[in-house]
Structure 1
Amino acid sequence: MPRVEFDVNSGVSPERFIGALTDFSPARADVWPNIDAEHLKVHEVGADSADVTEGSSLAGGVWERNRYDWSTPGTVRVETIESNTWRPGSSWLYQVTPAGTGSHIHVTVDRRPASLKGRLIAVLLVLGGRRVLRGATEEVLRKLEQSG
């Protein structure tokens, strides 16, 4: 079970970053590089939680149905309910704190492969996941900074 952790500092405010994490509008696919519009399906959104299926065409199609929870201030937890790649209980945890005029973001990714495709991607996560996932998060932050 690969576990990847990394930190990113940004000029984007914690509220803005958490807002992007919890925006399930069609614009989501434009902001997050690992989400394709055709894989995005919003099942339910509440005041501090959501049930969403999302994914990408990566590796012939990777999707997961996730339960988002942002009821704890500064924290967004994303837990896999169902997936063609990851077992239930796989997760992302974003801990976002103020840092000057921006934010410090600590990300923890726990992946539990559920298929051969998941096992292959898990090997890639072990080898270079931190760099790739951090780069994807930095890309999101650049988009947020550029959009003002």
Structure 2
Amino acid sequence: MRFDLTTKASPEQVLRAMTDFTDRRLEIWHKTLDPQVYEVRSLGDTSAVAREGSPRVPFWVVVDYDWSDPTLIRWTEVESNHGDGGAGSMRIAPGDEGGSRVHVEWTTHAVRTRDRIAMFLLHHTMNRVIARMWRQALDRYAESAVT
């Protein structure tokens, strides 16, 4: 999956929203993060490992996040109920007229045929939907002036 989005959120706000692993993560990402699945397993200054999944979706992943470069968030799937890993990245840049430009790339490696079909559909048809949901969450974050 690959997509670009623009948001009202500054690059610093995008980084904070994406790397907030407190209970606020469930508020920020309430449309895309299932509280029944969410669990932080470890948290460092520029890294985290968390179990995440989306509401009404049968898949979950344990993801190792790294944001040691504040303009680039990388993640690696270390465990899942549907595949054999995956990885992604989010490049954050200042927008031309304020806010931010965000470029996302994300791959998964499903093992079972059923899961490969579902992952294909997710990665090839849902990228616009996911981009829109992420933009809305980041815009809300910027408007709420969460610090």
Q: Shorter-chain-normalised TM-score: which range?
A: 0.7 to 0.9
* Residue of structure 2 in register with 1:26 after alignment: 23
Equivalences for residues 1-148 of structure 1 within 5 A = 4-32=1-29, 33-59=31-57, 61-88=58-85, 90-99=86-95, 100-148=97-145
| Distance in 2 of aligned mates of 1:133 and 1:86 | 20
The Cα RMSD (Å) is 1.7
Q: Deviations over 1:56-88 (max 9, x none)?
A: 3433x2211010000123000111000002322
Kindly provide the amino acid, as one letter, of the partner of residue 87 in structure 2.
S
TM-score (norm 1): 0.87
**Alignment length (residue pairs):** 143
Kindly provide the amino acid, as one letter, of the partner of residue 134 in structure 2.
T
SS in 2 for 1:50: strand
Give the fraction of aligned pairs with identical amino acids, expressed as a percent. Answer: 29
TM-score (norm 2): 0.87
